[in-house]
A and B are shown apart, each in its own frame.
Chain A
């Protein structure tokens, strides 16, 4: 099965903030890649973007999961079989070797900007610097 892979020159999309749902997810399509976008008002950061493809349930459904926290880690629960994925790192809490790509996302005024650049990579670079 093909897993969506980011292109070398990461694309980005923009959409208005009012499209977001409080404490829940929506899905953005970026260059053919489905990205689940979660909005947790009051949290820092308030926006999280991960791959929408659920590799365990094998369907594009993660944006329809319930968000919450487990042992202090912000997570989304897959609506299919309820595994939890960390919103910050994409790591699956139940299956050690499963991890989802997470993407850069931020807010400029009332516009949400999502790119296909990995947010994990960025923290990595930041740490190495």
Chain B
């Protein structure tokens, strides 16, 4: 039997999901996807991130290679122009014909542009595709003012984009309020005042009558009330309209106001043609969100197999961040009268000072949640959504659902009360039942469950709910989810830090005696050694500490794969004199070391035998070098750009500041390594936003960014404080670092620490900038102690013959390890491969 042809028109988010899932689930089809856009499907939901620094490529959901590997044929940049239902073929703009057995329309929608005279002038734009972004950017670069027509969800997101492009931004809305679909008047009003505080001008109840060329700016908008507004560009975001022309032309049934009519199998009026996503009309409704589109795709795919699913509509609750403001809307947010004419009960919490608005709509008997609006604080969203979706009974005092936690209201439900059918991850449609099944099947961590169910691999919005669900399920099974350091210490790193500090414990034996059991291991020993160093800053190779350290710390160098070591002298800020460069070269030559410039603006010398380390370091220390702590969980490098001293754009002395910072914090032991950088202007040549703490010069001082990370899971640092003077900058970093050292988990970089910190960045700001916990003096004093007791560990070691004893291969012989063998490559030594080594040894 020959394979059946499935042709999908549209390679947007839903069309992509359909082919990707179909290829994964069912063999035996020839799959073709035809898309009008020139690039493979991308994540439209996160389009705006391109304006805050993301590359368009980062949004890709697929690639030609990915499709090829799945056996999917992709024709991109070639819209379908006609469906020939008789011949069962589609015909593209290039005149190519593709025969189908089943056809799937996933043509999405387009932005609605109101029929206003002048709406086609240059500078009148829309916001839907990556190409649109380019247009908006190009016009923005020539202007200063931008207008968004439409104060709905997409319009406000677009306003943020214009603001990020540096435009003076206006939102023009026809209706009396913003986000009228999702918010009630109160919520809408709160949102408006918050947006206005950000400098965005909001004009409501404004009908645009005409657009004409402007005087001071590119365009002039004339409104029905006689007022005018001049602007350089206008983005229309006044709603979406389904792309249903193809279907209309082919005689398929469409809705009165557009949209391809489907049944709950996602079939159109032709049973061989399906429609899914934003082009489809189900139950008189277009679903303008991606998750319902995915559910339609699931239903459409299932029609090909033996277990057909139905699409029964979808919940349109949303939670988003608009211009940095949390907004959530669940169910009927307006509180419309019920079918029997009764009015629902409304509970409201509004706090003007903290800019929080929460309103819930509850059934007249007070038992069920019908809807909710949250502005300024969405922390209750997950709980409310679950109550709503699962039709769960509310507590006797529904107001407790939205009152602040410290108001004395009783605590609310835990996940355990959620039914198994509750959806935990709506992107990937993972229910609590699926998570429970995964745990029953052997998963014992969030990571396991994620891998098994794919939950939380979409927008990520469900991460917290997933974690609490998994934790509680594990706990219910008696799996102890502890953060105990190891079998020897039933405490977290943070708890131990506290115990050691308060108990003034000075060595491992004392800590073990007081708080632990057994002998210790390679997890708790280095951790406690690091805590002891963070607190008391003793010499790490002191007799009582030496055996606790990882090999890198014991030998003050990084062990390489063959057992030899690398040497990284500190080069603060990346600045080095020619004399010192020559010393490094001479030393490398003398001891036949491989030299390489590192990613951290310094030089690494590789291939030293353990017994050579002291001699090499003696030469380096004599020439004025210090240890670079490349081996320690400590400050690594503070990268710099040349800054105002040389660079024509620099506004501050970034090298000077980088050197000051590196010298200040060098040697401090911390839960994980710490990296920093200082850039001399916003061009950011030092890449400070990828560092644990990064500093970028401004006209007025320095902006401080925190908790960035390169490495395995890159994270952009968050802007923490702006325009700091030198001393305030240093003081803020002091506090930040000490708070991290105090509270982070073992081997937790600042990025992960922040992600796990309850209250997140705002909380961190309160602690560090507003001294909410009243500990800043203590943090500064602790830092001062560490700074006072700094020593170059190599210098100290070289002065102590007993310590140098450690640096040898054999107790009873001066021989060297014959397994450490080097061969030459590109004029330098490198470790021999096994065959080469065997040859050298035989």
Interface residues of A, Cβ cutoff 8 Å to B: 1-2, 13, 15, 19, 21-24, 26-29, 34, 37, 40, 53, 57-61, 64-72, 74-75, 77, 79-80, 82, 84
Return chain A residues, CB-CB under 8 Å to B834: 1, 58
Stretch in contact with the other chain, from B114-122, B556-564, B723-731: B556-564
Contact A26 B547 (CB under 8 A): no
Contact A34 B817 (CB under 8 A): yes
Return chain B residues, CB-CB under 8 Å to A1: 834, 838
Return chain A residues, CB-CB under 8 Å to B551: 61, 64-66, 79
Return chain B residues, CB-CB under 8 Å to A72: 518
- The A interface is mostly helix, strand or loop, or mixed, namely strand
Q: Which residue from chain B places its CB closest to the CB of A27 in the assembled complex?
A: B810
Verify if B525 is at the interface (C-beta below 8 Å from A).
yes
Verify if B813 is at the interface (C-beta below 8 Å from A).
yes
Contact A79 B521 (CB under 8 A): no
Verify if B555 is at the interface (C-beta below 8 Å from A).
yes
Contact A66 B521 (CB under 8 A): yes
- Complex-state Cα separation, A69 to B525, whole angstroms: 11
Contact B562 A59 (CB under 8 A): yes
- Which B491-539 residues have a C-beta within 8 angstroms of A? 518-522, 524-526
Contact A60 B819 (CB under 8 A): yes
Q: Mark B790-816, 1 if CB is under 8 A from A, else 0.
A: 000000000000000110011111010
Known A26-B811, A29-B815, A34-B817: A64·B559 in contact at CB below 8 Å: yes
B554 contacts which of A26, A64, A75, A84 (Cβ < 8 Å)? A64
Return chain A residues, CB-CB under 8 Å to B562: 59
Contact A66 B546 (CB under 8 A): no
Shortest 8 CB-CB contacts between residues of A and residues of B: A68-B521, A79-B551, A77-B522, A59-B563, A24-B547, A66-B522, A23-B547, A69-B519
Q: List 15 A-B contacts (CB under 8 A).
A: A1-B838, A2-B838, A2-B841, A22-B543, A26-B811, A29-B812, A34-B817, A60-B820, A64-B610, A66-B525, A66-B526, A68-B488, A68-B519, A68-B524, A79-B559
Return chain B residues, CB-CB under 8 Å to A19: 805, 811-812
Return chain A residues, CB-CB under 8 Å to B813: 29
B561 contacts which of A34, A57, A65 (Cβ < 8 Å)? A57
Known A2-B838, A15-B812: A82·B547 in contact at CB below 8 Å: no
Q: Chain A's nearest CB lies how many Å from the CB of B410?
A: 43
Return chain B residues, CB-CB under 8 Å to A82: 522
Contact B548 A69 (CB under 8 A): no
- Complex-state Cα separation, A66 to B559, whole angstroms: 14
Known A21-B806, A26-B811, A71-B487: A77·B521 in contact at CB below 8 Å: yes
Return chain B residues, CB-CB under 8 Å to A71: 487
Q: Which residue from chain A places its CB closest to the CB of B521 in the assembled complex?
A: A68
- The B interface is mostly helix, strand or loop, or mixed, namely loop
Q: Chain B's nearest CB lies how many Å from the CB of A72?
A: 8
Verify if B550 is at the interface (C-beta below 8 Å from A).
yes
Return chain A residues, CB-CB under 8 Å to B811: 15, 19, 26-28, 37
Return chain B residues, CB-CB under 8 Å to A29: 809-810, 812-813, 815
Contact B563 A60 (CB under 8 A): yes
Q: Which residue from chain A places its CB closest to the CB of B519 in the assembled complex?
A: A69
Q: Chain B's nearest CB lies how many Å from the CB of A50?
A: 15
Contact A61 B563 (CB under 8 A): yes
B519 contacts which of A15, A34, A74 (Cβ < 8 Å)? A74
Most chain B C-beta atoms within 10 Å of own C-beta, residue among A13, A28, A60, A75:
A60
Q: Chain B's nearest CB lies how many Å from the CB of A30?
A: 8
Most chain B C-beta atoms within 10 Å of own C-beta, residue among A23, A40, A66:
A66
Most chain A C-beta atoms within 10 Å of own C-beta, residue among B521, B546, B806:
B521
Return chain A residues, CB-CB under 8 Å to B548: 66
Most chain A C-beta atoms within 10 Å of own C-beta, residue among B487, B563, B815, B838:
B563
Q: Chain A's nearest CB lies how many Å from the CB of B110?
A: 55
- Complex-state Cα separation, A34 to B525, whole angstroms: 26
Q: Which residue from chain A places its CB closest to the CB of B810 in the assembled complex?
A: A29
- Complex-state Cα separation, A67 to B815, whole angstroms: 25
Q: Mark B653-689, 1 if CB is under 8 A from A, else 0.
A: 0000000000000000000000000000000000000
- Complex-state Cα separation, A57 to B411, whole angstroms: 52
Q: Which residue from chain A places its CB closest to the CB of B806 in the assembled complex?
A: A21
Q: Which residue from chain A places its CB closest to the CB of B563 in the assembled complex?
A: A59
13 extra interface residue pairs, beta carbon distance < 8 Å, beyond A15-B811, A58-B834: A1-B838, A19-B811, A27-B810, A58-B561, A60-B563, A61-B563, A64-B555, A65-B522, A66-B522, A66-B526, A68-B518, A68-B525, A84-B522
Return chain B residues, CB-CB under 8 Å to A22: 543, 547
A59 contacts which of B561, B810, B841 (Cβ < 8 Å)? B561
Return chain A residues, CB-CB under 8 Å to B819: 53, 59-60
The number of A-B residue pairs with CB atoms under 8 Å apart is 97
User: How many residues in B have their beta carbons less than 8 Å from beta carbons of A?
Assistant: 38
A27 contacts which of B488, B550, B809 (Cβ < 8 Å)? B809
Return chain A residues, CB-CB under 8 Å to B546: 21, 24
- Complex-state Cα separation, A53 to B819, whole angstroms: 10
Return chain B residues, CB-CB under 8 Å to A67: 519, 547
Contact B522 A60 (CB under 8 A): no
- Which B540-579 residues have a C-beta within 8 angstroms of A? 543, 546-551, 554-555, 559, 561-563
Contact B521 A70 (CB under 8 A): yes
B547 contacts which of A2, A34, A53, A66 (Cβ < 8 Å)? A66
Q: Chain A's nearest CB lies how many Å from the CB of B2?
A: 51
Q: Which residue from chain B places its CB closest to the CB of A24 in the assembled complex?
A: B547
Q: Chain A's nearest CB lies how many Å from the CB of B810?
A: 4
- Complex-state Cα separation, A68 to B559, whole angstroms: 21
A66 contacts which of B550, B805, B841 (Cβ < 8 Å)? B550
Q: Which residue from chain A places its CB closest to the CB of B559 in the assembled complex?
A: A79
- Complex-state Cα separation, A4 to B810, whole angstroms: 16
Return chain A residues, CB-CB under 8 Å to B812: 13, 15, 19, 28-29
Most chain B C-beta atoms within 10 Å of own C-beta, residue among A23, A67, A68, A79:
A68
- Complex-state Cα separation, A80 to B522, whole angstroms: 12
- Complex-state Cα separation, A38 to B645, whole angstroms: 55
Q: Which residue from chain A places its CB closest to the CB of B548 in the assembled complex?
A: A66
Return chain A residues, CB-CB under 8 Å to B518: 68-69, 72
Q: Which residue from chain A places its CB closest to the CB of B560 in the assembled complex?
A: A59
Q: Which residue from chain A places its CB closest to the CB of B817 in the assembled complex?
A: A60
Return chain B residues, CB-CB under 8 Å to A21: 546-547, 806
Return chain A residues, CB-CB under 8 Å to B524: 68
Q: Chain B's nearest CB lies how many Å from the CB of A97?
A: 20
- Complex-state Cα separation, A26 to B809, whole angstroms: 8
- Complex-state Cα separation, A21 to B802, whole angstroms: 11
Q: Chain B's nearest CB lies how many Å from the CB of A43?
A: 8
Q: Which residue from chain B places its CB closest to the CB of A77 in the assembled complex?
A: B522
Return chain B residues, CB-CB under 8 Å to A80: 559, 561, 563
- Complex-state Cα separation, A24 to B488, whole angstroms: 18
Return chain B residues, CB-CB under 8 Å to A27: 809-811
Q: Chain B's nearest CB lies how many Å from the CB of A31?
A: 11
- Complex-state Cα separation, A82 to B522, whole angstroms: 8
Most chain A C-beta atoms within 10 Å of own C-beta, residue among B610, B812, B813, B841:
B812
- Complex-state Cα separation, A21 to B522, whole angstroms: 17
Q: Mark B725-747, 1 if CB is under 8 A from A, else 0.
A: 00000000000000000000000
Return chain B residues, CB-CB under 8 Å to A69: 518-521
Q: Chain B's nearest CB lies how many Å from the CB of A39?
A: 10
- Complex-state Cα separation, A21 to B543, whole angstroms: 9
Q: Which residue from chain B places its CB closest to the CB of A61 in the assembled complex?
A: B563
- Complex-state Cα separation, A75 to B550, whole angstroms: 15
Return chain A residues, CB-CB under 8 Å to B526: 66
Q: Chain A's nearest CB lies how many Å from the CB of B626?
A: 24
Q: Chain A's nearest CB lies how many Å from the CB of B519?
A: 4
A75 contacts which of B521, B555, B563, B810 (Cβ < 8 Å)? B521
Q: Chain A's nearest CB lies how many Å from the CB of B422?
A: 39
Return chain B residues, CB-CB under 8 Å to A59: 561-563, 819
Return chain B residues, CB-CB under 8 Å to A53: 819
Return chain A residues, CB-CB under 8 Å to B810: 27-29, 34
Q: Chain A's nearest CB lies how many Å from the CB of B34?
A: 50
- Complex-state Cα separation, A29 to B809, whole angstroms: 9
- Complex-state Cα separation, A58 to B487, whole angstroms: 29
